[in-house]
Amino acid sequence: MTPEAVAQLLPVVELPFREGYVRSIIYVSLYVSGTAVVLSTLFSIPVAIVMGFTDFPGKQFVKSIINTGMGFPSVVVGLLVLFVVSNQGPLGPLELIFTREAMIMSQFVLATPPITAISLAAITSVSDNVRDAARALGGTRLDVALVVIKEARYGIATAILAGFGRAISEVGSVLIVGGNITSASGISKTRTLTTAIQLEARQGQYDTAMLLGAVLLVLVLTVNAVVVRFGDGGAMNR
C-alpha cells in the first residue's frame, strides 16, 4: 500500500507534507535498514553456521555475548558509532558523520546480534537425525550444512525479520549518527520514518506523527507478509 493510499484511509488528516517528502523518508528507511540487514545477514549466518557445527572453547561465552547484544540500547550504539565516524574518531577522514552509511553501520551493529542468535537457535534445533541421515547418504560437510540450513530456513527467516524489525523501528542511533536531515525542498537525506515521527512529536504535531507511525506499521507488516509468503513458496516447491 502506498503512503497516499494510507492517507486516503484517514480523511480527517490533512497531509501537511510537501511532495516527495513521505516517499523519500520511506526510501531512506528501507534503504538504510534493508542494507544493514542484508549486511548483517551475510555476516550472521556464516557465524551461526560455524557456531552451530563446531565446538570450541569459550563457545558459551560467545553465545552469551551475542545474547547480550540483543539488548544493546540503540542510543548507546549510536553514541559509539558517532565516536568512530566523527571527525575526531578513527574513521573521521571518511567523512561518514551525518550520512546514510553511518546509519547503516549503527543498524548493522543493532541487527547482527538478533539475527545471529535466532539463526543459531534454529540451526542447533535441527534434529540430529537429519544430520545423521545426510551424512549416512554420503554427504560431505557442505552437503550436511546445506540440508541443515534448508531445515532451519523458517527460523533463519524469522531471524532476519527480527533483525529488520529491530533496525527499522529504532530511533536512537539513526538520530545521533544521521542527524535527521532533509534538504530544503523536503527530500530526506538521513531522515527515516522513526526520526520523522520523533520530530513531528517534538513539534506537537501528533496527528502527523500518528500518520507516519501508521505508514511504518504498514511497511513492517508488508515486509513480514512478503517474507512469510516467500517461505511458503519454498515449502510448496519441496
Residues engaged in binding another protein (CB under 8 A): 2, 18-21, 23-24, 26-27, 30-31, 34-35, 38-39, 42, 86-88, 90-101, 104-105, 108, 179-187, 189-190, 201-205
What is the rounded distance in angstroms from the CA atom of residue 164 to the CA atom of residue 11? 30
- Closest Cα partner for 167 from 44, 33, 38? 33
Helices (H), ranges, 99-238 = 100-124, 128-136, 141-151, 153-169, 172-178, 193-202, 206-237
C-beta of 132: minimal distance to another protein in Å? 36
C-beta of 210: minimal distance to another protein in Å? 14
Backbone angles phi, psi at 109, to 5 degrees: -65, -35
C-beta of 168: minimal distance to another protein in Å? 14
Quick one: 72 or 98, whose CB is closer to another protein? 98
Quick one: 140 or 222, whose CB is closer to another protein? 222
Quick one: 162 or 177, whose CB is closer to another protein? 177
- Closest Cα partner for 169 from 148, 191, 194? 194
Burial string for 110-123 (b: 16+ CB within 10 Å, else e) reads: bbbbbbbbbbbbbb
C-beta of 64: minimal distance to another protein in Å? 22
